[in-house]
Amino acid sequence: MSVIETSNLTKRFGKTLAVDDVSLKVERGHVYGILGPNGSGKTTTIGMIVGIIRPTSGTFRLFDGDTPQDLHEARRRIGGTLEQPNFYPFLTGRENLKIVAGIKGLGKREIETALAVVNMSDRAHKEFKTFSLGMKQRLALAAAMLGDPELLILDEPTNSLDPEGMVEIRELILKLAGLGKTIVLASHLLVEVERICSHVAIIKNGRLLKHGTVAEITRGDSSYSVHAGDLNSLQTAIENYPGTQHTHRHTDRIIVELKDNDPAALNRYLAQRGIYLSELSEQERSLEDAFMEVAFTGESNSRQGS
């Protein structure tokens, strides 16, 4: 089942095209990272999905529902956190949750359940202003978890936390995913997305550059690292090979991107010319490499529907 499906979603603020024709699909159980630099349109995309920003054009569906009534119902199945959690400083954690719960029509039982999920039951009697940033984020997650929503939408959940706080929140997000929640997470932190997301959409200047599983995006499509005794003749042969898209010479090997992703054919071609490879391996990339590559080449979305 698709939990979120956007089609050509677009948002303009005056002259700024904040979100530009974004079509993406989040399925049940995904931990879906929206990854992009500052100002790339992550918060705006999320804002449209949770209903606080009206799209300029394009459409989206939540839980496969189409009608405005469906959308209204669907929003009850969503919990979210904003970039800056907004709580009353002089109220305790529990009192703050009571206010949020009141808006959602929920009571004490749901508050205690949510506090337990984020391991805050024994600290929620303290005033919000005494909380560390990590605890503030935890409380925000508890607020999002009120009423046990199926979909959690988190905007930069580890923003401004210290490394320890980040790890704590990431573990908590993984725990929620383990409980079967679908999670959408906006982040400008590559490591964060790489560590906790199953899927990622890379956006820049409002445009969706690429999306797919983290493994698909980091696998390196059709790039191979090759090595043979004589690198110069190897390079010449690879450059002459009709299936070569692109080559890059390193000091000790050559990286070749193939048009048809058929490394065996390259191997045969080289062997026929008396060049025997001592190494031919798929090129591993970190999400950072993948991000830099798509962000700088502006590769269009080639994984539509994956």
Ligand X SMILES: Nc1ncnc2c1ncn2[C@@H]1O[C@H](COP(=O)(O)OP(=O)(O)OP(=O)(O)O)[C@@H](O)[C@H]1O
Contact residues: ligand X, CB under 6 A: 13, 16, 18, 36, 38-44, 188
Kindly state the tokens that stand for 252: 């000790």
Among 245, 232, 229, CA closest to 283: 245
CB of 152 to Mg ion, least distance (A): 16
CB of 39 to ligand X, least distance (A): 4
Stretch that binds Mg ion, among 4-12, 38-46, 52-60, 253-261 (CB under 5 A): 38-46
Residues 292, 284: Cα–Cα separation, whole Å: 14
Q: Is residue 41 packed enough to be buried (19+ CB in 10 Å), middle (13-18) or exposed (0-12)?
A: buried
Q: Which is nearer to ligand X, 17 or 277 (CB)?
A: 17
Q: Which is nearer to ligand X, 40 or 301 (CB)?
A: 40
Q: Which is nearer to ligand X, 160 or 306 (CB)?
A: 160
Residues 200, 303: Cα–Cα separation, whole Å: 11
CB of 86 to ligand X, least distance (A): 16
CB of 153 to ligand X, least distance (A): 13
Q: Which is nearer to ligand X, 146 or 295 (CB)?
A: 295
Q: Which is nearer to Mg ion, 42 or 207 (CB)?
A: 42
How many C-beta atoms surround the C-beta of residue 206 within 10 A? Answer: 23
- Residue 301, binding choice from ligand X, Mg ion, none, Cβ under 5 to 8 Å by partner class: none
Contacts of 182 (CB under 8 A, 6+ apart): 3, 26, 27, 28, 29, 30, 31, 32, 150, 151, 152
- Residue 65, binding choice from ligand X, Mg ion, none, Cβ under 5 to 8 Å by partner class: none
| Long-range contact set of residues 13-16: C-beta below 8 Å, sequence gap at least 24 | none
- Residue 188, binding choice from Mg ion, ligand X, none, Cβ under 5 to 8 Å by partner class: ligand X
- Residue 243, binding choice from ligand X, Mg ion, none, Cβ under 5 to 8 Å by partner class: none
Among 261, 265, 286, 278, CA closest to 226: 278
The position carrying tokens 């799209």 is 55
Q: Which is nearer to Mg ion, 42 or 138 (CB)?
A: 42
CB of 167 to ligand X, least distance (A): 21
Residues 143, 136: Cα–Cα separation, whole Å: 11
Q: Are 4 and 61 in contact (CB under 8 A)?
A: yes
CB of 229 to Mg ion, least distance (A): 51
Among 6, 40, 43, 223, binds Mg ion (CB under 5 A): 43
Interacting residues toward Mg ion by CB under 5 A: 42-43
